[in-house]
Structure 1
Amino acid sequence: MSLVHPSELVADRVLPTLRAMLARRLDERGATQQSIAGHLGVSQAAVSNYLGGDVQLEPLVAENADAQASVERIAAGLDEGEYDGYDVLADLVSLVTTLEDRGPVCELHEREMPELRGLGCDLCVRGLDREAERERAVLASVRQAVRLLSTTPGVATLVPNVGTNVGEALAGADAATDVAAIPGRMYTVNGRVEVPADPEFGASKHVATAVLAAASVDSTVRAAVNVATDDTFLRRARDRGLATLEFDADYEERGEHLRERFRAFGRVPAVAYHRGAFGVEPVAYVFGESAVDAARRVVSLVGDDGE
């Protein structure tokens, strides 16, 4: 794992880009290289490099609207004598904070530390807190579940045409944005389960609907995997003593319908399924306390009797 502090990226990538942008804007306003060097606190040779294109700009910063507006504001203030060094620093500090708050600095940080992807990280702004820790735990659970499903032989045969997803909700979740899942769902390619992206919160409406319905009835059930409705799979579940429950596919308010079915059943079943409807593919939801728990349940029911 590469350990990169965001301040390193600000020093190495952001500030050189902002200095080069500011030098070029002041040059366009007719400032001399000597005066530009004085404003930026660098040598005249450095200014020459900025203006000559020898300093490579970071596109994420150079093309950012906030960065462009700040550079224009600072250049105008210096050119018109309304800004001194304190004003420039204050403007840059404010800009860097904006760029760090889930902006370009976050994207640069994710490139350097892929472990941060999908976390909605705002460490630069808030620091580590309990909510961030809970989100990380849920995302890690979904990633582990995905690895389990994508590497287990036989799971691909259960992936419906609409794709498979894995979802896990935060404790107390009440909206799809509180449920982490795979953007775009998982599909099969040449008999293998392909995972298009890392998990994110709010990435799935359908699996989130099932997860939220289950959690509202039993708060310990916070995850689900959707698979194709398969009679052999359902039989294996029943043979193992797992509860299965059929529900209506052609129901407008699926979340509320599932809640009503679960309450009438007296609990959240291990598997809830429907047989499809016009334009609706038959799908089953396998529930668990976590994404890993739900994925393990799916894996345990794949080909366990030699079929």
Structure 2
Amino acid sequence: MTLRFPSEIVVERFLPTVRAELAIELDERGLTQQEIADHLGVSQAAVSQYVGGDTPIEERFAEDDRFRATVETIADGFAAGTMDGYEALGELLALIRAFEDRGPICAVHEEEMPALDGIGCDLCVRGTDDAVEAERAALAAVRRASRRLANARGIATHIPNVGTNVGTAVPGATDETDVAAVPGRLQTVGSRVIVPADPEFGASQRVAETILAATSIDPETRGALNLATSDELLAAAREQGYDPLQFEAGYENREQRLRERFDKRGEVPRVIYHDGTFGIPPVTYVLGETATDAAERAIELLRQATEEA
């Protein structure tokens, strides 16, 4: 029996197909061949072959709806600057896992290694570790939110002196080690916003305690970020139908105090703020189901606040 590994199918058939399809999609979105080469980690000459249709593709991959959706998601993200190589790799690895689990990679593998056909091979069937998937989802949400904030127009003027952090908790979070956030926080350099590191669990205290207070009342509210408090930001929140909740700025027992305020209101507000105190600058927190949701809400608030300033 000739041995063929599923990884060989990935390298020899899946990888050329996905690169060729991505090159075509990115070309249609107006990227130069060198820009496409940089994204795909190949030469410009290789991109020319991909775009020219000179690379054989595996139709069983290319025609699969999951494949098409993943390629379009990555192409849109690359073209808009909202996705990096790390996130793209995550999308593709998830697709590979799905294709190996009774999917097209499995079908090609059985074709090239006939001894597997009909024996119910389950060498690549992994199952799902819910805890690991939840952690990956939280990290991905923070990564997306950070990038969207960093790319948002005019965001730098709303970053507090202490920096902005962005967080997402895993379901059932009980302490800050269950909350993914950005080590070092987002910081301003001139008019630019810098994301200093990839997200990690336990990388925030203040945003984490805000999220933990929120999720104790509403388990679906697991994301938050902080911005500098301003009259324009609060006015924008009210005009968009939010009722900002003011709370005391002190750090002592803040999580418990927020929990009590949320419980008294009977819901978790999407915007909460304080006006600062000695040694504590005024900060507004925007909350959502995830960090990504909170970031989208914050960007919309800032857009309106900037227009009205």
What TM bracket, shorter-length normalisation? 0.5 to 0.7
Q: Distance between the aligned counterparts of 1:243 and 1:299, measured in 2? A: 17
**How big is the shift at 1:127?**
9.5
Q: Distance between the aligned counterparts of 1:161 and 1:271, measured in 2? A: 20
**How big is the shift at 1:155?**
1.3
2:237 matches 1:247: no
State the SS of the aligned residue for 2:285: strand
Q: Give the unaligned 5+ runs of structure 1.
A: 6-112, 118-125
Q: Mark the structure with the bigger radius of gyration.
A: 1
The equivalent residue for 2:302 is 302
The equivalent residue for 2:288 is 288
Q: Distance between the aligned counterparts of 2:203 and 2:248, measured in 1? A: 24
Q: Distance between the aligned counterparts of 1:133 and 1:289, measured in 2? A: 17
Equivalent runs, 1:180-195 vs 2, <5 Å: 180-195=180-195
1:102-156 residue CA offsets vs partner (Å, 9 max, x unmatched): xxxxxxxxxxx96699xxxxxxxx9962211111111111111111100011111
Cα pair 1:271 1:287 within 8 Å, conserved? yes
The equivalent residue for 2:264 is 264
The equivalent residue for 1:169 is 169
Letter in 1 for 2:171: A
State the SS of the aligned residue for 1:248: coil
State the SS of the aligned residue for 1:174: coil
The equivalent residue for 2:75 is none
2:246 matches 1:225: no
The equivalent residue for 2:210 is 210
Q: Distance between the aligned counterparts of 2:239 and 2:193, measured in 1? A: 27
Equivalenced residue count is: 189
State the SS of the aligned residue for 2:267: coil
State the SS of the aligned residue for 1:303: helix
State the SS of the aligned residue for 1:210: helix
Q: Give the unaligned 5+ runs of structure 2.
A: 1-6, 9-84, 91-125
Cα pair 1:251 1:257 within 8 Å, conserved? no
Q: Distance between the aligned counterparts of 2:218 and 2:127, measured in 1? A: 32
Cα pair 1:227 1:283 within 8 Å, conserved? yes
Q: Distance between the aligned counterparts of 2:240 and 2:292, measured in 1? A: 19
State the SS of the aligned residue for 2:304: coil
Letter in 1 for 2:255: G
Q: What TM-score do the two structures reach when normalised by structure 2?
A: 0.58
The equivalent residue for 2:201 is 201
Cα pair 1:247 1:274 within 8 Å, conserved? yes
Percent identical = 54
Letter in 1 for 2:286: V
State the SS of the aligned residue for 1:272: strand
Deviation >4 Å, runs of 4+ = 113-117
